[in-house]
Chains A and B, each alone.
Chain A
Amino acid sequence: MSDLLNYVILGIPFGCVFALLAVGLVLTYKTSGVFNLAFGAQAFVSAAVFYNTVTNHDWPLLPAFILSVFIVAPLVGLILDRALYRHLRTAPAIAKLVTSIGLLIAIPEIVKLLPDFDFLQSSVFNPPTIWPNPFAYYHFGDYVLDGNQVATIVSTGAAVLFLTALFRYTTIGLQMRAVVESPRMTELAGINADRVSAFSWMLSSAFAGLAGVLLAPLFAQLAAPNFTILLIAAIAAAAFGRLTSIPLAFLGGILLGVAQGVLGGYLPADSVLSNGLRPSLPFVVLFLLLLFWPGLRHRREIVDPLSGVDPPPPGLSAEKRMRLLTYTTWGLGVIVIAAGLYVSLFVVSNFWLLIVTRAVIFSLIFLSITVITGMAGQISLCQASFAAVGSFGTAQLAQRFDMPVLLTMVIGAAMAAIVGALLAIPALRLGGIFLALATLAFALMFESIFVPLDWVSGGVLPTKVPRPPLFESDRAFLFLALGLLVVISILVILVRKGTTGRYLDALRGSETAATSIGINPARARVIAFALSAGIAGLGGGLLAIQENQANYTANYSVLFGLLWLVIVVTIGARTVEGAVQAGLALAFLPEILKALGLSPAYQFILFGLGAVTYAKHPEGVLEYNKRKSLETVQRFLTRGRQPPDGESGGVVRARPQPAPVAAANPAGDR
């Protein structure tokens, strides 16, 4: 019995930290409709500032604490609100979520590149605690807590009391409760909703910062993965509170911490269960909560009752394009692709050949995002896991059963499709951000539970994969990859233009209306999910064959999955060209950065910040510019009736083509 109590007490400090961040999440979700995953990164920022000032600059604890929690953290929140989220107020929740994912990826990399913060490049141990005497132990009856644990509990308690008092007794608290219901309604009542929302952003960011500063010493290390655990645990706690109840979210955080402590105490120390289950408990809990928690059953996303005031977002142009213009752009595209191919096959070195092949394979994988996000309108954060399933399937079947590798690649894709369908069935009634969060939890579960297993990944060393006969050389393999890309591109276009594609379009437009004409939403979505997972799996298998191994950490980790999504939605998730351009970007950008002498971290920053544009241009930035310039050219042509040579000149200038990137780079190599 006393053992149990001891484990409970050990879990409480963790629970406090989870709870603090969960409160921040719920607070901003309620006041601005943003489910801000970037809080994970903001917590990291405050922890880094605290470490830097105390350890590297010998500041006393109190000023360092004030700087990191009460100045830096709210400032980051204020900047995000002013510069970004305020302008997205009417965007759908899912667009805001994508923006926050971009920030989650970009912010830590930006911090690491700051001049005074390069210490973060290597592992940072023993971060300072906020308790003046870190080695003190305090006895409470039979139980012992160290200074840091006491500090965590005390400051969490103080923060909660402060928040309760704020909501109960102050005007700003009352105003915040009003803004929750409808920012516009509040404004009509004469309150500056912008100021209230800025305040709530600063407040919740301070909670995130406090969580970060307290978390680091609990793990005795300042490392990004711990902040992922923190973020997911906080999301799980927020889900426990139905994303709207602050007290329940707080309770959820504490319970999760306690559960983790108890599990840690009772599971045998070195068993599979304790190694696999205990660290991944938050992921499992989040996944199960999202699927089965009654509070989330018929939960619709927060909608401003007056949101109808805004004009609907501009639809994609349905006007017919001039035929000549279409042919010209098509022709140009074919010429540029052919030229790029010729250059990469016969002119440049083998190194660039490999990069081009990588670009082709990633284009194929990104088509899976075209299906699930562009066509079905859902955000899936586990596409990398599907690719990994395909990759592991290809490798394991080829190695264990000596099957031909092209066959195992197809089987691997089928396995991924089945996993996708199985995941889709329970997750279907979730929509929007809940589905996105469930797929994130799934990806993390897959990473922490399945990937370490021998029969999945092959254990410590990646499983080797042979090349198929006929395609052993790198040149021949490029043709194989290109062939598959063309086949899958045609498949995607057929599905998009076909009946299922139309159903998905209709469902994206209005689910109620679509069901009212007899469309089965579950069926259409399961098909989209399975197809998408299958494509990702096929790409994963292809990548494994190209690299001769199924390497999880180098290709499919959860962070990569987020990066993939962010790249594709930034460039254009609606079209096949978008996926291809994204594939080129992913493969070439690191090389361009290397050539410019810049850190590879810039790709995370570039695309992370790029995702910020998603809310404004859900069709993708490049796609948006392409449409706009085509329209301009068309207007110019029809109005001025220019001679034909003016035409082609206009088109060349107007169309931001993907292919020149491909062509320019191999050329730059020489």
Chain B
Amino acid sequence: MCKRFSGITALEDVTLNVEPGEPVGLIGPNGAGKTTFFNCLLGLLRADNGRVLFDGRDITRMPVYKRARLGFGRTFQRVELFTGMTVRDHLLVAERARLGTGRFWKDVLNLAGPTKDENQRANHTLELLGLIDVADKPIESLSLGRARLVEMGRALMTEPMLLLLDEPSSGLDQSETMELVGTLQEVQRERGTAILLVEHDVEMVQAFASRLYVLDFGVIIASGATGEVMDDEAVRKAYLGELV
């Protein structure tokens, strides 16, 4: 299985490839085009040219919700949650959405509440993310850090092959971020989900990703194993120079 994304204007010929089960980081300074790239990938923006290949299929023109059913899960930089629902409801609705299509009457007139199986799966994910104690709390009562975990749980319920995380560390402090990394590693170990992490917190990416892409002004200026990339001269100049 192989995913290739190439050539997006505003992004100059960006090609990025994530192998199954691989934790990959995409970093770059503000304005480098990370989020644009991300949105093209997900279908929120349409790339002017280039293609998105997923599992060998060309999905460049596929609408967002179909990509989700195919195996894209995502979280948002600014959390997007369903107000008025409990944490558990978030996961259950995602579970239903995964099963998806062609069940008109069953969907419209669903007599049964969540089945045993659905509840079990939800509980399992809640435990994995350490959210079980707030499962029946309204979403509005959660802190930002935990709200992000709910987003992640919601994405995981759709059983994604590729999980796309958009700056999950923004708004979190150092210890929360490291906690998040721990959870991510656990998720990845257990589910074998490929994860593409878009970040500008270098430490977090270093701790998590095995491979890195560095984006600057819409161009990939370096890619490769995390350690090598971090030593790369061009990267240090373009991006880390200001930090180190």
What residues make up the interface of A, taking CB atoms closer than 8 Å to B? 312-320, 491, 494-495, 497-500, 502-503, 505-506, 508-510, 512-521, 527, 531
The distance in angstroms between the C-alpha atoms of A316 and B85, with both chains bound, is 8
Chain A residues positioned under 8 Å from B108 (CB to CB): 494-495, 498-500, 527, 531
Given A312-B140, A515-B64, A500-B83 contact (CB < 8 Å): no
Label chain A's interface by main secondary structure.
Answer: helix
Whether B68 lies near A518 (C-beta < 8 A) is yes
Which 5 pairs between the two chains have the least Cβ-Cβ distance? A509-B82, A498-B110, A518-B68, A513-B80, A318-B138
Whether A505 lies near B64 (C-beta < 8 A) is no
The distance in angstroms between the C-alpha atoms of A123 and B240, with both chains bound, is 78
Given A320-B136, A517-B68, A518-B65, A499-B82 contact (CB < 8 Å): no
Chain B residues positioned under 8 Å from A509 (CB to CB): 81-85
Chain A residues positioned under 8 Å from B64 (CB to CB): 515-516
Q: Identify 29 residue pairs between A and B in the complex whose beta-carbon atoms are under 8 Å apart, listed by A's number.
A: A312-B140, A315-B83, A315-B138, A317-B138, A318-B137, A320-B136, A494-B110, A497-B110, A498-B109, A499-B103, A499-B106, A502-B89, A502-B92, A502-B96, A503-B107, A505-B84, A506-B93, A508-B83, A509-B85, A513-B80, A513-B81, A515-B64, A516-B42, A516-B155, A517-B68, A517-B154, A517-B155, A520-B65, A527-B108
Whether B84 lies near A316 (C-beta < 8 A) is yes
The distance in angstroms between the C-alpha atoms of A512 and B92, with both chains bound, is 17
Which partner residue on chain A sits nearest B87 by CB separation? A318
Chain A nearest CB, measured from B18 CB (Å): 18
Whether B107 lies near A500 (C-beta < 8 A) is yes
B100-123 interface (Cβ within 8 A of A): 100, 103-104, 106-111, 113
Which partner residue on chain B sits nearest A490 by CB separation? B109
B141-196 interface (Cβ within 8 A of A): 151, 154-155, 157-158
Chain B nearest CB, measured from A323 CB (Å): 15
The distance in angstroms between the C-alpha atoms of A499 and B94, with both chains bound, is 10
Q: Kindly identify which residue among A312, A506, A517, A527 contacts B85, using a CB–CB cutoff of 8 Å.
A: A506
Which partner residue on chain A sits nearest B140 by CB separation? A315
Whether A516 lies near B84 (C-beta < 8 A) is no
Which partner residue on chain B sits nearest A498 by CB separation? B110
The distance in angstroms between the C-alpha atoms of A520 and B65, with both chains bound, is 6
Chain A residues positioned under 8 Å from B97 (CB to CB): 503, 514, 517-519
Whether A512 lies near B76 (C-beta < 8 A) is yes
Interface centre among B98, B109, B137, B155 (most CB of A within 10 A): B109
The distance in angstroms between the C-alpha atoms of A494 and B110, with both chains bound, is 6
Q: Kindly identify which residue among B42, B113, B157 contacts A517, using a CB–CB cutoff of 8 Å.
A: B157
Chain A nearest CB, measured from B52 CB (Å): 15
The distance in angstroms between the C-alpha atoms of A119 and B80, with both chains bound, is 55
Whether B85 lies near A499 (C-beta < 8 A) is no
Chain A residues positioned under 8 Å from B100 (CB to CB): 518
Chain A residues positioned under 8 Å from B109 (CB to CB): 491, 494-495, 498
Whether B98 lies near A518 (C-beta < 8 A) is yes
Whether B42 lies near A505 (C-beta < 8 A) is no
The distance in angstroms between the C-alpha atoms of A516 and B63, with both chains bound, is 10
- Given contacts A498-B108, A499-B96, list 15 more A-B pairs with CB under 8 A: A320-B136, A491-B109, A498-B110, A503-B97, A505-B82, A505-B93, A506-B85, A509-B82, A510-B83, A512-B76, A513-B81, A515-B68, A516-B42, A517-B93, A531-B108
Q: Is B44 on the interface with A (CB-CB < 8 A)?
A: yes
Chain B nearest CB, measured from A154 CB (Å): 49
Q: Kindly identify which residue among A494, A519, A521, A531 contacts B111, using a CB–CB cutoff of 8 Å.
A: A494
Q: Kindly identify which residue among A312, A314, A491, A519 contacts B65, using a CB–CB cutoff of 8 Å.
A: A519
Whether A502 lies near B93 (C-beta < 8 A) is yes
Chain B residues positioned under 8 Å from A517 (CB to CB): 68, 73, 93-94, 97-98, 154-155, 157-158
Which partner residue on chain B sits nearest A507 by CB separation? B82
Q: Kindly identify which residue among B73, B82, B96, B110 contacts A510, using a CB–CB cutoff of 8 Å.
A: B82
Q: Kindly identify which residue among B44, B68, B111, B154 contacts A498, using a CB–CB cutoff of 8 Å.
A: B111
Which partner residue on chain B sits nearest A510 by CB separation? B80
Chain B nearest CB, measured from A301 CB (Å): 17
Which partner residue on chain B sits nearest A313 by CB separation? B83
